[in-house]
Every structure is written in structure tokens, then in C-alpha cells.
Amino acid sequence: MVEGTSNNINQPTPSNTNMETITATQTPPGPKGNLVLRPPFDLRNKTHFFIEWMADKYGDISRAKAGPFNFVFLAKPEYIEHMFLTRDVYVKMNEGSQLKYLLGNGLLTSEGEFWLKQRRLMQPLFHKQRLQGFVQKIADATNAMMNDWEERNMSVPDFYREMNQLTLDIVGRTLLSTDLKGDFAKVNKAMTTVLESVNKNRGRLFRLPAWLPLPSQIRLARSRKVLEDTIAEIISARRKDTRHFDDLLSMLLEVEDADTAERMTDKQLRDEVLTIFIAGHETTANALAFTLYLLAKHPDVKKRVQQEVADVLTGAELTYDLLNKLEYTTMVIKESMRLYPPAWVTVREAAKDDVIDGYLVKHLDKVVVSPYAVQRSEKYWTEPESFDPERFNATNIKSIPKFAYFPFGGGSRLCIGNNFAMMEMQLVIALMCNKFDFKLPDDFVVETQPFITLRPKDGVPLTFVKR
């Protein structure tokens, strides 16, 4: 893994590491006035380009005011590392965070001691031995989807939509032991409504607070309620069920605090289940859609992946370790997430004043880091716009500067599902490349859309044939 630091939740949280004590008064350079009044850019639809533009025009640290908020943009790996590792200064946003409103006190949105306790409880659920138990469930969901395509005479109108359905099915099977055809239909419907409402409000920057009584917020509140009630029902039914379930929910029900032997309350379970649903499905769907797009655009790379898959999956039992033998396929996935990082932006709030390289970051500033911008910067990558999986071979990977590549974030809040996601993507790509060939219309070029996750704007129109 090259991204971020090791996933050590107990690491110290140094304040102002290698940075001066708070004496600076100079704020970072940036555009004058309020961005909302005089936008230099289409901020709603092109926020990712705007962040690149800020770095080009104003340098590694810059600042802009948008609405009532001051944003500080960090574009240098050392600064990004400082933000991720200085946990007592850079905290998750509370006010105006739609995710917080939606997910309550789940792992993605909680902070402080509460977050640390939950993270310690949940970390073991994502260890390799546990993930092994999910390999077959992921393969079953993928095979079901591919059989469906065959029954539909290979009609796949939008591959991106299919990937969303597939990753939702996978999270349903691995988290709750339900599939799209069973009880899960209800959760699927509510989840889709919630995600649509959230996405209608666009990206995470420059947005109105979630509590404002706008029609879109009212719709979101309604669908959130449906989803919460549905998940609460599933949890309550599971508590009464004496059968054994091999899924994340039963693990969540069993984990207990090592000191107090306390277990999670129903409310906490509900927040964590919702969090895993939201954090774990659209990100992976986007990465899969962009990866197959890139493979279709680069037939030589696709051929090498198909060859590797055929060599590795020679009827052998599918295991977590077997999937890690797909070295080239893994390089392709990493390169795809360099060009198209699904979690394209991360925002923190400064809990107190800080100084970064002589510039003052003020209490309550929103600090923004974007893997999209840094992973496409000429400062750290040769020909950054070109697709070259060799950047991630065993030799080249060593020369990637720390935090010039961070699709899963970094520091103690590194994505808890990163190994799960890598395994899921390796497996889905391997099964699909083994069974099908695919291509794009000749002139198709994907456009990106920075919603909560980075999406392919008009989908990915792949056509599939059986190999």
C-alpha cells in the first residue's frame, strides 16, 4: 500500500509538526472577494478543476472565501500529511455537513474519543481473516449480475448503473446477508432515494446547511427516515433470530469493549450500518466503472489483465490470498484511482489556529485536500494525464512521494474498508474479464462529475460479448 501512512489508530497526534509555533499572521494567497458572488469557475459542476486551478494560480497553500466559510486548500504532500496526522487540530466538519446529518454518529462522521472507541471496536471486522469470509458472497453477486446480462441478451445500457446495483448487492450480502431479490429490495429503494437526494445537492463544498427547510432537504429527511426505520427493523429481527449469520451485522452485534464489555446500542448499530452502506458502495462502483472504461480505452492493458486472470484463476478456489496474486490487475486498479479517485476531496475544520509553512490557518477554517488535484500534478507525476499502470509496479511504487497518492485518505482516519474495497474490485474485475470482452463507442471520452463521489457524468456505455 502506498497511500497515506499505516493504519495506526493509536498514533500520536502531533500539533504543528515541523511547523512554526503560532506567530504567523499572514494568511495564504487567494482570490479576492466572495467566490459565491464572483465565481471564477462553475463551482457546482467543476469543483475538482477549481481546486487544481487554485494550486496552479496561488501555489501549494491558498485560501478563498465562499459564502460564510473560509476555505484553505493544501496541494503539497507534506502539508497534506500534516493535516491528516494532526488530529487535535484538523477535525471532521460538524456544521453544514450533510453526511453528518445523514449518518449521525457513524464512523465516517463522528469525532474524538467516541470515534476512537468505535474505530477500535470495528477495526478487527476488516482484518484479512474476516474478509476471506466475504469472497464467495462477492463472487455470487457478480455471477448473478453476469447471468442476468446473459438472460437479457447482453443488453447493458449503462455499465455505471450496473456497477451501482452490483456494489449495493455486495454490501447487502456482506453486511446484512440479504440480496437484491429478497427483503433487501426495500433497503435498496430507500438507499437509492437517499443517495439521489444527497447527490442532487451536489458536492460537499459550497453548500447550504442541511437543516434549512428547503424542499430538497425535506425529501432527504423523509427518505432518511424510511432507511433508518428499515435498518432498525432488520436489526431488531436479527436480535431475535437464533440462526448463525456470517456477515458484518452479526459481527457488529457481537463486538464488545475490551474494558467495559459494553456492546453497541441499537441507535449506534443503525448509524454504523448506514455508514458502511453509504461509504462502501458508491465509491467502489465508481472505481469499477472508471477502471473498465480505462481498460476498454487501452486494449493492450486489457489483454494483459485477461491473461493474468486466466493464469491465476485456473479453477483454483477463490481466496483472499489468490486475489492478491493478481499483481498487474491491482496495478491497473491503483492507476485508475490515481486518475479518477472516487473520494476526490476531503475537508476538515481547524479546531484551533495553526501555522503551515509560515501561513496562518485560522480556527474554523475549512481545510481542503484533493487527491484528484495532487494525483494529476506534474510536480509529482510524469505525464500525469496518461494512463500507465507501470507507475505502481514493485520498483516504481517506491519512488511515489508519501501523500502524492491517497485515494483512501490517510492517518488514523484512513478508510477502514480499503482492503475490503481492493478485494472486491480485484474479484469483480477478474470474474468479468474472464467471462466477457468489452468495448466502448470509438469516440467516447468520459467526463467527470464531482458529486459526493467523483462519478462518470454520462455513465459508461460499454458493450459486452461472451469470450
Q: By CB under 6 A, name the binding residues for ligand HEM.
A: 107-108, 119, 275-276, 279-280, 283-284, 287, 342-343, 346, 407-409, 413, 415-417, 420-421
The least CB distance from residue 348 to ligand HEM, in Å, is 7
Phi, psi values for residue 395, rounded to 5°? -85, -55
- Neighbouring residues of 188: CB distance < 8 A, sequence distance ≥ 6: 168, 172, 180
Nearest residue relative to ligand HEM (C-beta): 417
SS3 label, residue 448: strand
The least CB distance from residue 107 to ligand HEM, in Å, is 4
Residue placing its CB nearer to ligand HEM in the complex, 288 or 356: 288
Residue placing its CB nearer to ligand HEM in the complex, 360 or 377: 377
Residue placing its CB nearer to ligand HEM in the complex, 274 or 462: 274
Phi, psi values for residue 148, rounded to 5°? -60, -45
> CA nearest 310: which of 466, 135, 433?
433
CB 429 within 8 A of CB 333: yes
The least CB distance from residue 447 to ligand HEM, in Å, is 19
What is the chain's alpha carbon radius of gyration, rounded to the nearest angstrom? 22
Residue placing its CB nearer to ligand HEM in the complex, 408 or 464: 408
Residue placing its CB nearer to ligand HEM in the complex, 203 or 280: 280
- Neighbouring residues of 439: CB distance < 8 A, sequence distance ≥ 6: 296, 462, 463
The least CB distance from residue 419 to ligand HEM, in Å, is 9
The least CB distance from residue 265 to ligand HEM, in Å, is 18
The least CB distance from residue 410 to ligand HEM, in Å, is 7
Using CA atoms, how far apart are residues 6 and 3, in angstroms rounded to an integer?
8
What is the 3-state secondary structure of 235-288? HHHHHHCCCCCCCHHHHHHHCCCCCCCCCCCHHHHHHHHHHHHHHHHHHHHHHH
Which grid cell sits at 189? 429503494
Residue placing its CB nearer to ligand HEM in the complex, 104 or 409: 409
